[in-house]
Amino acid sequence: MTTEDLSFVIVGHVDHGKSTFIGRLLHDTNSLNTDRLEELKAACFALGRELEFSFITDHLQEEREQNVTIDTTQIKFKTDKRNYTIIDAPGHKEFLKNMLTGASQAEAAVLLVDAHEGIQEQTKRHATLLHLLGVRQMMVLLNKMDLIEFRQERFDQLKTELLQFLKTIGIMPAHVIPLVAKDGDNCVLRSERMNWYTGATFLDALDQFTCKNDTAHKPLRYPIQDVYKIADKRILVGRVESGTICQGQEIVFLPSQKHTRVASIEVFGKTNKKEAAPGESIGITLADPLFIERGEIACAIDAPPPIAKKIEAHAFWFSPHAFEKKDRIRLKLATQDVQCQVEKVDRIDSSTLNTIEKDATLLHTAEIGKFILVPEKPLVLEPFDQIEELGRFVLEKDGEPCAGGIVVSTHGTL
């Protein structure tokens, strides 16, 4: 029985064949039901076309008629090893924010590149954004090998070019695989048209990705979501983000710095729960009658996170409205929600990673900002490479999400 779960996102430039690839994969792994296939054929026929695998994920009328993915989709399939969630992401620049929605849910990424067209603007931008959002596992598929007559030297040349670029943004792909998505070469079955390629097929490479690292060995971080009064108990509910929490354990709440012990762990229907691991949505009661609200984080007393005066962070600005430096913004991280001022922002081109302007007054749509943020209230966070769940955030303005990013470092602990 398969018990492992892994979700991966498929990214790449528009028209490089992402949705077609997903359709082919589902077809070749026998994951499509006959009704779905019939519906697909009928929809294609109505538009006067052959069977298009992209219609499996491109389900909106507009997507099918214009042959472009507008919004992200998730679809499941299984191998002997795992349950997979495939996240399809749009490749068109206009729908970048939908691509981000998909990518933020992924543990691994597949970058698809048209072997004929080569590296394009969104190829680079997507790779950069995945890295920015913290996706560290990746493989590359060089699709449409039939358009370059399955030539090895062209493949090698492209591969070198790609690896060079990916290296500059800190990505080392596990595999680079030559592919023809529409015919299925090297997707599930080994291609007979590219005998020079001896590496893994896509499906083999996929099973080699590793699942999300268990964060149980890291220090405890338990952000409080809400406080419920149930009968005579005050139950602090939340999700363990890292470490483990045990009955009797000494904890400190940050940023309030209040110390206490865990009196009990509360899960409905389980009367004798003694400890909880990362990912568990639980409740706790405290040994002392402290006043604790949403946003406080229960932490291990021997390894508390910093409460920063200033934060160095990288964020991708996806709002259609430019950011003005004088604007106050809300930073949402775990269950915290704090107003911030921007001390400094450098504008970075999200496709080339070149600095456009240092200490800018405006940050435009689809640019990366290197921010120095000053929170107006104490904020508990840590660098993304230490504890991911406390190192990634969303910026909001007037109630609208505008940017997403990660904490690089913190300065001037309070």
Specify the residue, 12 or 278, whose C-beta has the smaller distance to other proteins.
Answer: 278
What's the CA gap between 16 and 21, in Å, rounded?
A: 9
End-to-end CA distance of the chain: 50
Shortest distance, position 3 Cβ to other proteins, whole Å: 5
User: 195-213 burial, b for 16+ CB within 10 Å, e for fewer?
Assistant: eebeebbbbebbeebeeee
Specify the residue, 150 or 318, whose C-beta has the smaller distance to other proteins.
Answer: 318
Rounded (10°) CA dihedral 342, 348, 349, 355: 140
Specify the stretch interacting with other proteins by CB under 8 A; choose among 18-26, 73-81, 171-179, 367-375: 73-81
232 binds other proteins (CB under 8 A): no
Specify the residue, 38 or 359, whose C-beta has the smaller distance to other proteins.
Answer: 38
228 binds other proteins (CB under 8 A): yes
- Polymer length in residues for the chain: 414
3 binds other proteins (CB under 8 A): yes
Shortest distance, position 291 Cβ to other proteins, whole Å: 17
Q: What is the footprint of other proteins within residues 169-198 (CB under 8 A)?
A: none
404 binds other proteins (CB under 8 A): yes
- CA distances for 164 relative to 7, 127, 151, 157, 159, angstroms: 27, 13, 20, 11, 8
Q: What is the footprint of other proteins within residues 313-332 (CB under 8 A)?
A: 318, 330, 332
Rounded (10°) CA dihedral 384, 127, 101, 335: 10
Residue selected from 28, 356, 396, 408 as contacting other proteins according to rule CB under 8 A? 396
Specify the residue, 71 or 382, whose C-beta has the smaller distance to other proteins.
Answer: 71
Specify the residue, 54 or 143, whose C-beta has the smaller distance to other proteins.
Answer: 54
Residue selected from 61, 160, 339, 413 as contacting other proteins according to rule CB under 8 A? 61
What's the CA gap between 212 and 332, in Å, rounded?
A: 23
Residue selected from 98, 137, 201, 351 as contacting other proteins according to rule CB under 8 A? 98
Which of these, 54, 78, 74, 73, lies nearest to 65 by C-alpha position?
A: 54
293 binds other proteins (CB under 8 A): no
Specify the residue, 79 or 152, whose C-beta has the smaller distance to other proteins.
Answer: 79
400 binds other proteins (CB under 8 A): yes
Specify the stretch interacting with other proteins by CB under 8 A; choose among 18-26, 138-146, 255-263, 265-273: 265-273
What's the CA gap between 299 and 337, in Å, rounded?
A: 18
Specify the stretch interacting with other proteins by CB under 8 A; choose among 107-115, 249-257, 375-383, 387-395: 387-395
Which of these, 168, 190, 166, 164, lies nearest to 177 by C-alpha position?
A: 190
Residue selected from 105, 152, 256, 365 as contacting other proteins according to rule CB under 8 A? 105
Query: Residues in contact with other proteins, total (CB under 8 A)?
Result: 61
Q: Say if CB 171 and CB 127 are below 8 A apart.
A: yes
Q: Token digits for 337?
A: 């929600």
333: enclosing H helix or E strand: strand 329-333
368: enclosing H helix or E strand: strand 367-375
221 binds other proteins (CB under 8 A): no
Shortest distance, position 63 Cβ to other proteins, whole Å: 9
Site string for other proteins, 8-47 (x = CB under 8 A): -------------------------xxxx--x--xx--x-
Which of these, 172, 135, 137, 141, lies nearest to 316 by C-alpha position?
A: 135
Residue selected from 258, 275, 401, 408 as contacting other proteins according to rule CB under 8 A? 401
Specify the residue, 248 or 279, whose C-beta has the smaller distance to other proteins.
Answer: 279
Write the DSSP string, 134-196: T--EEEEEEE-GGGGTT-HHHHHHHHHHHHHHHHHTT---S-EEE-BTTTTBTTTB--SS-TT
Q: Say if CB 177 and CB 140 are below 8 A apart.
A: yes
Which of these, 199, 147, 146, lies nearest to 173 by C-alpha position?
A: 199
- Binding site residues, other proteins, CB under 8 A: 3, 5, 33-36, 39, 42-43, 46, 56-57, 59-62, 70-76, 83, 85, 97-98, 100-101, 104-105, 133, 225-226, 228, 230, 235, 237, 239, 266-269, 277, 279-281, 283, 294, 318, 330, 332, 337, 392-394, 396, 399-401, 404
